[in-house]
Structure formats: C-alpha cells, structure tokens
Structure 1
Amino acid sequence: MFASMNGYVTETCNPTVGPVQEARPHMERAVDCPGDKEHDTGGGFNKPLSCGAQMERIQHYQEELRKKREEEGRAKHDIDPNASLRLKKLAQNPSYPTKVGIDNPTFDGKEKTKDAQQDPVAELEDLLQALQSVQRCLLDAQSQQDAELVLQLLNREDFQSAYAVHNAVSQQMSRGAGPGSPLTAQAQDLCQEVQSILQSSQQKDGLELKALLTKPHLQALIQAHDNVAVQEKETDAAESVNQYQGETVKLVRLEKTRDTPLGATVRNDVDSVVVSRVVKGGVAERSGLLSEGDEILEINGIPVRGKHVNDVHDLLQQMHGTLTFVLIPSSQTKAPPHRQTVMHVRAYFDYDPSDDPFVPCRELGLSFQKGDILHVISQDDPSWWQAYRDGDEDNQPLAGLIPGKSFQQQRETLKNTLTDRSREQQGKLWQVKKNKKHKKRTSYSFNRNMDDDILTYEEMALYHQPANRKRPIALIGPPNGGQDDLRRRLLSIEPEKFAGAVPHTTRNPRIHERNSRDYHFVSRSAFETDLAAGKFIESGDYEKNLYGTSTDSVRHVVNSGRICLLCLHTESLRVLRSSNLKPYVIFIAPPSQERLRTLLAQEGKTPKPEELKDVIEKAREMEQNFGHLFDGAIVNMDPDTAFHDLRRLIEKLDTEPQWVPTSWLC
C-alpha cells in the first residue's frame, strides 16, 4: 500500500483493480412465432411441386411472415413482456430494455433493418417450418431421409444453444461493438478469491464450483479473457489522455500481484502529486516506467491532482492488479541509466527510523544495530541510501532507507558539538579553569583518534582465508572474563594447530629461558625505537622492564601455517586492524553476577561483590565502545560450552567466507 508520513506516501501493500467498465447492454428483440395454420394460404403445400416452384413457394411464405411481424411492430410501441418466457425473463433483468421505439434509449427512433430486427428464436422456427414444408414436397425416400436428419439436428438442444450464442455474437459485432466489453481485467484474481472462500465449503454446489474453477481449460480461458480486457483498458485509458491537451503526458500501466509492492513514494508539490522516490525491488523500479519528478494526473481513471498524499494513500490502498497511470513526465534532465554496483558496509551505529524525524518515510526506514552488514544498492540520494540488511534479502521485498554516510556524519558532528557546548555550559557553573581542562580532554576522545572522521560505515568484502595462511584470533574480554583460560586450553590441546606470539621484553633472560622461544630479549633503546615505529600491537612496563607483542611475532606464526592466539586489550585493536594480519576478533562476555561468582569460586577465587560488578560493567563498556569491531561473541556461562563454541567459530573460518574491510584486500 502507499503509507504516508510527513507529506510523503510510500506504497507497501497491494493495489486492486481500477474502475470497472459498465457492460454495454445489447438488445435482443423477441417476436411471435405463428404456427402453420395461421399462414396456410389453403392452396397447397401438400401438392407435389417442382423444385423451382417449391423454392418460390418457400420464399413467398417467408416474406409473408416478415410483413406480418413488421405490421405488428408498427401497431404498438410496447411489447408485452408476458408474451413469451424469454421476454418475461428479460423484463425481470433491469440491465436489459423491455421497450422499443422512442421510449427505448438503445434505439434512436430510426427504422431498423431486417437483420437488426430479426429474433434468433424466430429465425430458427422459420427455418424449421420451411424445412418441414420442403420435406413434404420431396418425392424420393433418400431426400426424405436427408431432410429428416437435418430436422433432427436443428431440434437438438445443444445445436439450438450454439445457434443462440452465434446469433448473439453476430448481433453485437454487427453494431460495431466488437465481441462485448469486459467487466473486469482481473477475472483470475476473482477466481482465486472465490476458491479461497470455497476452501471450507462442504456443500455440493460449492464443491462443484471449486472443481470447475480449478480445471486447466477454464483457467486458460479466464487468462485469455484478462489479456483481452487489458488491451481494451489500454484503449480506454488512452482516450482519457486527450483531456490534458497542451501538456505532454504519458500513459504507464503496471501489472501487480498482491505479494509484490509497487515500490514508490509520492509527495505534494502545491496541488500536484509527484513521484518522489522509486524504491529498489518494487514493480516501479523493475519496469523503469516511473521516474522521480513525474506528476501523477490519474490512477485507473481517477484524477489525483489536488488530492493530499493521504487521500492518494487511501485510494491506492484499495487497488491491486492493473494500475494505469496518466503522468506528466519530469522536466529534469535524466542521466543515462547505468548499472550500480552494490556496496557492502558494516554499520558503526544503531539506527531506528521510528526515532528519526528526518527520514522521508518511516515505513520504508531500515532499522539496524551496530555491527550489522548492510548491502547498499542505491546512492542516488546522497542523504538517504537504499539498502538491505544481510540475511533479510528474501524476507524484505523492498529496499529500506538508511542515512547516507555524509548526512550521518553531519548529524553526529552536530550532536557532538551540542554535547560539548552542554558540557561547557555546565563547567562554567563550577569553575572556569575546570572548563578549560574539560575542553582539552574532550578533544581527544577514542573515536576521533581511531579515525580521521566520525565512524558511520566501513566498506566490507567477503574473504576466505587461505589454507596455509590462517587469520590470527584475538580474544577480547574484561579481567576474570575467562579469555586467558580458553587460550591456554587451546594451546595445550592442539599445539600443532595453535601457537602464541613470542613477546618482546627488555629484561634479562633467566636460566631456563631461550631467546626467540620464550621471549625476544632486546635492549631498551631497540624496544623504544620499534615502539615509536608502531611495530607493537600492545606494550607496557612491569618492574621497570618493558614488555610487548609485535606484529612481526604474530606474522611469524601466521607464516608457519598455524593459528596465532592473542588475548588483547580493546585499545590494541586499532593497531592490529591497521596491520595486514586480518585478525578475527571474538568477544568473551561474562555471565550474570551470580554465575560469575560460581565460576570464580571453582577456581579458588573469592571476589568481592563490587569486583564482580566491575567485571560486568567493564564488559558492557567494551561492547558499547568496540562492539562494532567484534566478529563474534561468546557468553562464558560454562567453561566447556564456551570452549566448544570457540572451536566452532574458529573452524567456521575454514568453511565460510567472512566479511572484512575492503582496505585489507588492497
């Protein structure tokens, strides 16, 4: 349907058929059929006559019948509907006239020809009477037998029915009206509706009708009927275009089903109803017949100029099937059509269109969460892209609207500016010096350091890791979250498959330690030089000695064909992601506070309630600030279950491609 919001209307449901054309009533005139005795001239149909004399006598007999009917027609203007059963039935049907002459609007008062006046029933009776007369005049047995066969054929009920249908069609075509105007072009839809109504029917008539409507021959007939009806509707719609002389107009017909939405939005421009947006995935987009900026004049013969978009919504909500639009094409210069490539992005913010006052149409808005993969299929409007959420393509026929990258960056910038001003005003209430320090701190937030611009979307691509070059696994979680135990368990069970990166340190080696096996022992100056060059993923000092994990150490494990396991702080993800190591980040989330207490008690730890609360709070902050960088997540409810879940995620890297930033593949 078309759903309206803020002066826009968008089509999300299915239209029905347009105005039904009235059936053109055709006139069937009945005349009395006199018997043989009334027209017997007394002289001799029983006498044997020559063939020529027989034909002359038959013609004379038919002419006498015709003259008598003409005299009866001129004698009175009204025909008694009770004179025959056919007229009585016609009189009970208000769609057919029961009078002829000046009172009958179907006639124009002029004298009709013999063919126009002749009733098919009377014609057949005339033919039967004439054939019976001919049979009496025939002398040989073979001719008598042939005439009898013809009489039997003419008296058969099915022949008389076919003869009546033939005369009715011929009568219509003789008037120049063709085979008759269809009442609807949606007979197939009506049949489906009737079948659905009859699903629960157990009555004999209902079952018989249901069986009849499902026969292939009848369905083919109805389909042919609809095709012919559509062609006639096109002719009628073309005639309505002439009403808008002086303006360039075009006629557009779109065929819809109930399951396929139109996919367009319209807006009011003064009194005009204008196509504002053509949405990907709808009938309008696939047909290429509707364009942005087209003014809609009529829909199925109903004028819409001057109507509010809400009225257009109510109108189209009741329509389905064939939609015929009369349009004034857009005067805008249209760029030549080009094939747009799909851009895959990962969202770095949550979005709910119901809370966005700027979305052109909330019904078309696409909600998503931080970290979701979105398939952007149209960027024609830089402020509002059209996209599908990954995994929802089959259930989402129409593309949804999402904020464009530049538009969302402007909004986030404005939001941050207002937030900073609010904090600044609050600081002034306390102390000017505190305000200066506060402004200096807020200019170095994590998000602004992590990227040159505000995080909105990151372009992604599918990547399948090579068999000989495994992606490093980075386990992220709060202290006491269980990530260290999971890493040690993997290293101990499968040392040939998993390995840890050898760290660097500035302390002296102990007796049992070997260089490049336990640590890379380096001088302090060498460590600081590599640190300044950005070679360390993370680093720190302990008892006046420096420790760190370098990207070269991780790369050494990757080059050996094994999987490098890392336990990192969230702040280390920036360096790791900027390398060419293509890490797979898994967040190890703690369970509830009570469950966490139980797990730590099994390890002999007795944390205080505030310590447990800090673990859960720290995990919430990590997910809030860095959740868009996580490729997977595991809730550590049980060590064994968490271990199997971790193994499953790692093994999936060998069987399924994963979304990675396109910058990693350059």
Structure 2
Amino acid sequence: MPQENTQASIQAVLENLRKLDDGQNNEVKNDVLFLKLLMDCPVVQSLARAHDTLDNKMVNPEQNNSCEIVTQILHDIHGIKSNAIAELTGILQQAHFSGVLQAHDKIAEQRSINQKYVNQFSSPPIKIPNYKNAVRMVGLSKPRNEPLGMMVAVVNHEVVVTRIIHGALVHKQGLLSVGDIIKEVNGKPVKGKPEVLKEFLNKPTPSFILKVVPSYNKPTDEMIMFVQCNYDYDATADMDIPSRDAGLSFKKRDILQIVDCSDKQWWQARFVDKSGEPKGRARLIPSPQFEERRSIKPSRSEQVIKPVCEMYKFSQNTKFDDEHTPVMYEEVCRMPEFPRKVIVVVSEDKSVASQVKWKMTELFKDVYKIPVTHSSNESLQNDRHYVVCKKEKMMVGIRSNEYLEHAEKDAHIHGLKYGSIRDVMKSKKFCLLNMASQNLKFIMNSEFMPFVVHIETHLPSSENSDTEIQTYAHMYNLTVAFSTVEESSRVIHESVQTEKSNPQWLPLSWVY
C-alpha cells in the first residue's frame, strides 16, 4: 500500500472516531479514546512507515556506466569558459562524488549479474575474498575540542575499536566499525601501544590517517526506544564506567532515548526534550542487568553475619517484592493529551494527604469525587461516604482481591474496593484517592492510569520516610511542597488541569 494511502486511511479512521465520540455513553467513549490514542501513537506511525518502506518494490538502476558518462561530460565541456561550467566541473571532479558513482556502478553491475541467474536452477559462482590480510586507509577529520566518540582496547596485543558512540564524529563519518583493528596512525605503528593513538587523538591536528584491518561488522542501527529512568545516576562518580567523560548522568523520571543496547553492560542513550525530540549526542548509561547486579551486591561495610537459617514472615512479602525487584528503566511512549481519571495523593504524613483530598472535593466539588469506603461498622449506616457490609462478606471480598486497601480498627474492617473506583471513573468527575505508596503498584496499569501527587511535608525525616521516598519516587508524577491544606489543594488542581492539556509519557504496557 502506498505511504500516502496509509496515512490517509489512518486520518480517515481518526475522523470517524471523533464523530463516534459525540453522543455515546461513558464506556464507549473510553473505548473510542483508547483507539484514538493508539492511532495517534508515534510507535504505530513508525510501524506503518516501516511497513510501507519494506513493501516497496526494488528499483532497478538505469545504467551501470555512470563513471564513463561523467568522463564524457568532462571531455565535452572542457575549454568552455563559464562560471556555471567551472562549478559543474568542480563538482564532477570531487573525490566524494566520484566515489558515489563508483559504488553505484558496482552495485548496478552486481545486480545485473544476479538477474541473469534468477530463472536458472544453479546459483551464480560466488567468489569469497580473502579478508585475512586486507587493510584500508581511513582518513578522519577532527574539529578542535570535539571528541571522536570512539573507544579502543588492547586485545591480543592489537588495538581494537570496542565502542562507537552514536551521534559522535566517528559515527557520523561512518568509516570505522566495532571490531576494526587499528595498525597505524599517521604512519606510526600502534600495536600494543594505545598510548600512541591517544597521543595523536589529543593533538590539535585537524585530520589524521589510520591504517585499519576492517572487521566487516555491520554498524548497529539507531533504535527507537524511549525509557523513563527509575533511579538517580551520577556518571562522574561511577568507578566502573569505561570513560567518565562519555557518561550520561540523570535523575528519576528523566526520559531517555536508547540508541544502542548491544553491549551487555553499557547502553548508549541521550536526553529527550519537552517536545519529545532527542537532543545531543549519545552517551553511556549502565544496562539494567548490570545496574541491578551492582545495586543488590552489598558493600563490605554492609555485610553482616546472619544465621544460616532465618524465619521469613509471610506478612512482609510486599516489602520483600518491592525491595528486591528493581526496575531500572521502564519503556514509555509519548501519547497525545488526555485526562487521567484517577488522581492519587500520597504523603509521609497520612493525615496531610487525607486533609488535602477532602479539601479538593470541597473547593472543586464539580471536578473531583471520592469513592465510597466499605465498612463492617453498622454505626456508619447513615454516612453517605460509607457502604456498610457484613464482616464475613468483606472477608470473602478481601480473599478474592476485590479491595485495593483494607484495614482493621476497633474490631471493624474498612476497605476501598476496585469497583468503587470504577464507579467514579464512569462519571464525569475525577476519582480522588489517598493511599499508602506501597499500594500504588496495584493500580499502576492501563485500566486506572493514575496521576500520582506526592506532598512533601516539613516533618522531621526518619529512616522509614526517606526509604519510602527513595523506593517510590519514580511513580510520582508531581511533588508539591506542603504549605497549607488549601494552598496545596489549589496547586494540585492547577497541575491536574495543565497535565490533561499536554502530551504525556506513559508506560508502554499501559498502551499495548
């Protein structure tokens, strides 16, 4: 299918979805919204373009004697005095232009040879060249104060290219590949002497020539994968990184584009700006497997002798899972603007989160609604914020995972059901919750898509509160410094209204 027709078809589907959005009930509207988000997703657009590109038929060359034609043209225009002719002669005689024509003729000739064997049973004879002693001369230009973006290592006394940074000079020029063996630099042997190569690279010389034994490794293509960082990383303090100057430092919730993950320990990534476009050249970050191994390995000062056999409390299984299943990077995609239907307020001071929640429903009663709480306390029968149930019935629901949170107080059980949240989501209001941070993982999915607000209080920090922030900070969409209940409520409301009008980065698992 031609690319124009594909894009026109996608736009037609989107127009039909916009028409369906009017006059439908809330469930249908949610489905239509999901389809619109899916069709507008950059990943879907990229897949469509990739399909169109792969579906295109191969274009056959017009001729395979371009070099002869250019030679004839130069002969015909020789002696003609004209500025245009002089400019044309200069272009046709350029080494790069001549190289392009030679490559074109070689490919065209090879394709015509292969075409002769298409309808024959036997394949054309293949000549396997001997690459063992093949060498080539590579000329590199190096602007002042700009790194080449190439890393080498000594392997069996040979200086081997081990990494090429995407977006750097060597990558842009495309003359070297990972695995190439550098024999000489400007005529000086460098075998087993990487310091000689380093000395030349540090000189202000604008260009130099390398004698290289090519590896014939195909360069890796740039990836289209975006991730959210779930931990803080300082490349300047990393003792394991191959080059601290080539490292990329980041904070929790920063968005990065991963351009190369072929290395098991060090990926290449670059930042993404507010418009969703990558910026700057790629740099090194730890791979998730490498960082997980480093993070769970205790330091010598932390190693404590423990009993060989130790009891494990089943009631602590949530804490165990949270602390020992780190997710270093979460794959995300940029989605068009849409409202998050669930707003969650969390804080180390639980009373502050509760007060802000109720204040928001008081100030903006037409915007937010709090789901009802189920309770076995019959004295709450006339309270419109509660639904009274038998204790036995609630216990059955808890065992069936119908409750997001539950607690027992004064021999009565109180709990928040998933169904109560869904009931508010079906209305035209935002569902407003306050809950413990460790329970956020139960609603971090495509059904609820919560917008999580963390209220930072001025209470004296404790080890538990610091650990909670460190563990769950990557889930917080917004952090608000607490001043007063009313002021914090207004700040959160303004942020929610702004967020729904801007494109958002969502976990890929929420979209597909």
Does the 8 Å CA contact 2:380/2:386 hold for their aligned counterparts? no
Q: Which residue of 2 aligns with 1:545?
A: 412
Alignment of 1:613 onto 2:460: yes
Aligned in 2, Cα 1:638/1:443: closer, same or farther, shift over 3 Å?
A: closer
Aligned in 2, Cα 1:639/1:328: closer, same or farther, shift over 3 Å?
A: same
Alignment of 1:407 onto 2:266: no
Number of corresponding residues: 392
In the TM superposition, residue 440 of structure 1 has moved relative to its aligned partner by 3.0
Alignment of 1:458 onto 2:346: no
Aligned in 2, Cα 1:291/1:568: closer, same or farther, shift over 3 Å?
A: same
Q: Which 5+ residue runs of structure 1 have no aligned equivalent?
A: 1-216, 232-244, 592-611
Does the 8 Å CA contact 1:481/1:588 hold for their aligned counterparts? no
Aligned in 2, Cα 1:413/1:529: closer, same or farther, shift over 3 Å?
A: same
In structure 1, how many angstroms separate the alpha carbons of the residues matched to 2:315 and 2:424?
38
Give the letter aligned to residue 589 of structure 1.
E
In structure 2, how many angstroms separate the alpha carbons of the residues matched to 1:395 and 1:341?
12
Alignment of 1:310 onto 2:180: no
In structure 2, how many angstroms separate the alpha carbons of the residues matched to 1:526 and 1:274?
69
In structure 1, how many angstroms separate the alpha carbons of the residues matched to 2:393 and 2:132?
84
In the TM superposition, residue 397 of structure 1 has moved relative to its aligned partner by 3.3
SS in 2 for 1:528: helix
In structure 2, how many angstroms separate the alpha carbons of the residues matched to 1:652 and 1:504?
33
Aligned in 2, Cα 1:389/1:530: closer, same or farther, shift over 3 Å?
A: farther
Does the 8 Å CA contact 1:282/1:397 hold for their aligned counterparts? no
Mean alpha-carbon deviation: is it higher for 643-652 or for 258-267?
A: 258-267
Q: Provide, for residues 88-134 of structure 1, a one-character-per-residue CA deviation record: whole Å limited to 9, x for no partner.
A: xxxxxxxxxxxxxxxxxxxxxxxxxxxxxxxxxxxxxxxxxxxxxxx
In structure 1, how many angstroms separate the alpha carbons of the residues matched to 2:278 and 2:226?
18
Q: Normalising to structure 1: TM-score of the pair?
A: 0.52
Give the letter aligned to residue 493 of structure 1.
L
SS in 2 for 1:577: coil
In the TM superposition, residue 567 of structure 1 has moved relative to its aligned partner by 1.1
In the TM superposition, residue 569 of structure 1 has moved relative to its aligned partner by 1.2
Q: Provide, for residues 153-192 of structure 1, a one-character-per-residue CA deviation record: whole Å limited to 9, x for no partner.
A: xxxxxxxxxxxxxxxxxxxxxxxxxxxxxxxxxxxxxxxx
Aligned in 2, Cα 1:419/1:458: closer, same or farther, shift over 3 Å?
A: farther
When you count helix as a share of all residues, which structure comes out higher? 1
In structure 1, how many angstroms separate the alpha carbons of the residues matched to 2:152 and 2:412?
68
Does the 8 Å CA contact 1:249/1:329 hold for their aligned counterparts? yes
Aligned in 2, Cα 1:462/1:325: closer, same or farther, shift over 3 Å?
A: same
Does the 8 Å CA contact 2:373/2:386 hold for their aligned counterparts? yes
Q: Provide, for residues 332-363 of structure 1, a one-character-per-residue CA deviation record: whole Å limited to 9, x for no partner.
A: xx35x664532222333332233333222222
In the TM superposition, residue 289 of structure 1 has moved relative to its aligned partner by 1.8
Q: Which residue of 2 aligns with 1:214?
A: none
In structure 2, how many angstroms separate the alpha carbons of the residues matched to 1:413 and 1:640?
42
Aligned in 2, Cα 1:652/1:321: closer, same or farther, shift over 3 Å?
A: farther
In the TM superposition, residue 259 of structure 1 has moved relative to its aligned partner by 7.2
Give the letter aligned to residue 326 of structure 1.
K
Aligned in 2, Cα 1:557/1:268: closer, same or farther, shift over 3 Å?
A: same
In the TM superposition, residue 499 of structure 1 has moved relative to its aligned partner by 0.7
Q: Which residue of 1 aligns with 2:448?
A: 581
In structure 2, how many angstroms separate the alpha carbons of the residues matched to 1:465 and 1:356?
38
In the TM superposition, residue 484 of structure 1 has moved relative to its aligned partner by 2.5
Aligned in 2, Cα 1:557/1:463: closer, same or farther, shift over 3 Å?
A: farther
Alignment of 1:568 onto 2:442: no
Alignment of 1:652 onto 2:471: no
Aligned in 2, Cα 1:419/1:629: closer, same or farther, shift over 3 Å?
A: farther
| Identity across the alignment (%) | 23
In the TM superposition, residue 320 of structure 1 has moved relative to its aligned partner by 5.2
Q: Which residue of 2 aligns with 1:633?
A: 479
In structure 2, how many angstroms separate the alpha carbons of the residues matched to 1:436 and 1:484?
42
Does the 8 Å CA contact 1:260/1:397 hold for their aligned counterparts? no
Say which of 458, 473, 479 aligns to 2:349.
479
Give the letter aligned to residue 201 of structure 2.
L
In the TM superposition, residue 455 of structure 1 has moved relative to its aligned partner by 3.1
Q: Provide, for residues 514-539 of structure 1, a one-character-per-residue CA deviation record: whole Å limited to 9, x for no partner.
A: xxx42222222221122122222211
Q: Which residue of 1 aligns with 2:509?
A: 663
In structure 1, how many angstroms separate the alpha carbons of the residues matched to 2:309 and 2:301?
15
In structure 2, how many angstroms separate the alpha carbons of the residues matched to 1:552 and 1:629?
23
Q: Provide, for residues 267-301 of structure 1, a one-character-per-residue CA deviation record: whole Å limited to 9, x for no partner.
A: 223543221101111122233221011122334x3
In structure 2, how many angstroms separate the alpha carbons of the residues matched to 1:266 and 1:505?
66
Q: Which residue of 2 aligns with 1:210?
A: none
Alignment of 1:624 onto 2:496: no
Does the 8 Å CA contact 2:288/2:329 hold for their aligned counterparts? yes
SS in 1 for 2:493: helix
Aligned in 2, Cα 1:649/1:258: closer, same or farther, shift over 3 Å?
A: farther
In structure 2, how many angstroms separate the alpha carbons of the residues matched to 1:475 and 1:369?
22
Aligned in 2, Cα 1:642/1:617: closer, same or farther, shift over 3 Å?
A: farther
In structure 1, how many angstroms separate the alpha carbons of the residues matched to 2:502 and 2:396?
40
Q: Provide, for residues 19-42 of structure 1, a one-character-per-residue CA deviation record: whole Å limited to 9, x for no partner.
A: xxxxxxxxxxxxxxxxxxxxxxxx
Say which of 164, 175, 198 aligns to 1:289.
175
Q: Which residue of 2 aligns with 1:490?
A: 360
Q: Which residue of 2 aligns with 1:350?
A: 232
Q: Provide, for residues 443-471 of structure 1, a one-character-per-residue CA deviation record: whole Å limited to 9, x for no partner.
A: 9565641488443222222244645xx33
Q: Provide, for residues 602-634 of structure 1, a one-character-per-residue CA deviation record: whole Å limited to 9, x for no partner.
A: xxxxxxxxxx536x6654332122112211101
Does the 8 Å CA contact 1:478/1:618 hold for their aligned counterparts? no
In the TM superposition, residue 412 of structure 1 has moved relative to its aligned partner by 3.2
In the TM superposition, residue 407 of structure 1 has moved relative to its aligned partner by 2.1
In structure 2, how many angstroms separate the alpha carbons of the residues matched to 1:293 and 1:565?
56
In the TM superposition, residue 500 of structure 1 has moved relative to its aligned partner by 0.7
Give the letter aligned to residue 398 of structure 1.
R
SS in 2 for 1:540: strand
Does the 8 Å CA contact 1:584/1:631 hold for their aligned counterparts? yes
In the TM superposition, residue 644 of structure 1 has moved relative to its aligned partner by 3.6
In structure 1, how many angstroms separate the alpha carbons of the residues matched to 2:278 and 2:132?
45
SS in 1 for 2:444: helix
Alignment of 1:536 onto 2:382: no
In the TM superposition, residue 246 of structure 1 has moved relative to its aligned partner by 8.9
1:226-245 matches, cutoff 5 A? none
Give the letter aligned to residue 425 of structure 2.
V
In structure 1, how many angstroms separate the alpha carbons of the residues matched to 2:332 and 2:265?
20
SS in 2 for 1:440: coil
Q: Which residue of 2 aligns with 1:99?
A: none
Say which of 134, 148, 152 aligns to 1:266.
152
Give the letter aligned to residue 284 of structure 2.
L
Aligned in 2, Cα 1:395/1:505: closer, same or farther, shift over 3 Å?
A: closer
In structure 2, how many angstroms separate the alpha carbons of the residues matched to 1:644 and 1:311?
63
In structure 2, how many angstroms separate the alpha carbons of the residues matched to 1:273 and 1:571?
50
Alignment of 1:250 onto 2:136: yes
Q: In terms of Rg, which structure is larger?
A: 1
Q: Which residue of 2 aligns with 1:325?
A: 210
Alignment of 1:522 onto 2:369: no
Q: Which residue of 1 aligns with 2:116?
A: none
Q: Which residue of 2 aligns with 1:555?
A: 422
Give the letter aligned to residue 195 of structure 2.
N
